[in-house]
Amino acid sequence: MQFKDIIGQRAVKQHLAEMVQQNRLSHALLFLGKEGSGALPLALAFAQLVVCQPAASEPVADLFGGFTPMQSGPAYIGPDEIANQSSFGRADQLIHPDLHFSYPVIPRKPGDKPVSTDYISEWREFIQQYAYGNVYDWLQFIGAENKQGNITAHECNDIIHKLSLKSFESEYKVLVLWMPEYLGKEGNKLLKLIEEPPPNTLFILVAENDEQILPTILSRCQLVKIPMPDDQEIEEALIGRAKASPETARQIAAIAEGNYREALQLLQHAEEDWQSLLRDWLNATLKGGPLAQIKFTAEISELGREKQKQFLRYFNHLLETSIRIRVLGNEKVHAGDQERDFAVRLNKIASVSQQQAIIEELDRASYYIERNANAKMLFQALTLKLYHIIQNKTLILNG
């Protein structure tokens, strides 16, 4: 994987390349980016850039500024030239002996004490197919079903052992630890290693939520913030990589809000008529009465969790479009004719404050769906809330 394979992130890529070129690396980096931002593939590309740097024939300045520079040191190999290195093929296939990985795993059977290397074949396949996937995708990929993944004390011991060994081929050993949020208090086992690592050892932690990381680990890492790609970058990726039509790509990019994983999920179900489904829901909510509402709730509960989330996200997108039309004017908002018409109709039945209240309820519902809430109960309750927000002009507030 190379920097050119990562969607957007031009400024971050340049910053990372300069850190290597100018020997300004910290021993521990934290790549912090929301789901779908590309933090994991960017970390992998960066790790491969580091391990593929040519080894020195004698002591020179390492990437961490540990030695005195000598004129005979190897030349820096940039992101655009790294594929020419003989070691790149192994790094690209994630089989380089000095490139290590850690990620949440589950026991294959009761009593097992799994470590990441037990799932290395699945990991390589997952990265090849779902580089922008999230931890839910990964756990489903390895058959976790409803099991909770973990990075355990046993895994921490394995990390300490692997990184205590001398590097095999590269000048550097690199560990990419994905989702440190899954490290419990056992993660404190890694503190000394992170603070005083063996020579030429680099930790790259990749996280989505820094608030869920052990503060003791967080304080020892240099933060690298990974922003979300913009709509134009997502649109171009959908057209160039996923072979979406320009119109479909534009619409999906507007809904996905920089989340490429979400964009790919939406593309899989691009044939879904979310607008008709939403029209049915609003009619059932405001005009149809209890029987129509129950019928709709039964129908949507059969769609499955991912489709339910996409449906709510689409409703949110239309509400946000409605607010922009109200504020900026119809002609200044980019939207398809059908979407624009629907958004204008939403403005007729709900004020800005009502629309904002609905958006909050939809976000909350998506959160509960991710945590396996009962779909029938959730959508029935949501339908009642929407009725009171719109019909009775009542804003539902958190208790």
Question: Residue 223 is inside which H or E element, if any?
Answer: strand 222-225
187-201 as b/e, with b when 16 or more CB fall inside 10 Å?
Answer: beebeebbeebeebb
pLDDT for the residue 5:
92
pLDDT means over runs of 10, the chain (399 residues): 92 92 87 94 94 68 48 69 88 92 90 90 94 89 83 91 88 93 86 86 93 89 93 93 87 85 81 81 88 91 84 86 83 72 87 90 90 90 91 54
Contact assessment for residue 206 and residue 179, using Cβ atoms and an 8 Å cutoff: yes
Q: Which pLDDT score, from 0 to 100, does residue 68 have? A: 36
Distance of CA 24 to the CA centre of its chain: 27
Question: What pLDDT, on the 0 to 100 scale, is given for residue 67?
Answer: 39
Beta pairing partners, 183: 151
Give ∠ CA 113-204-187 in degrees, rounded to 5: 40
| pLDDT of the residue at 327 | 81
As a whole number of angstroms, the distance between CA 173 and CA 45 comes to: 15
Q: Given this model, what pLDDT does residue 270 score?
A: 65
Question: Quick check: 193 and 159 in contact, CB under 8 A?
Answer: yes
Q: CB under 8 Å to 130, separation ≥6 — which residues?
A: 137, 138, 141
CA torsion, ordered 59, 65, 69, 75, to nearest 10 deg: 80
User: Residue 262 in contact with residue 38, Cβ under 8 Å?
Assistant: no
Shortest CA distance to 293 belongs to which of 284, 302, 301?
A: 284
Pairing verdict, β 173-178 and 201-207: parallel
C-alpha to C-alpha distances, 333 to 324, 328, 349, 374, nearest whole angstrom: 7, 7, 20, 37
Token match 């603070």: residue? 195
H runs (alpha helix) in the chain:
10-21, 39-51, 88-92, 120-129, 135-141, 153-164, 191-195, 215-218, 231-240, 246-256, 260-268, 274-283, 290-301, 305-328, 337-349, 352-370, 375-390
pTM of the model: 0.73
The alpha carbon of residue 285 and the mean position of all alpha carbons in its chain are separated, in whole angstroms, by 34
| Strand 99-102 relative to strand 173-178, pairing | parallel
Q: For residues 265 and 279, is the Cβ–Cβ distance under 8 A?
A: no
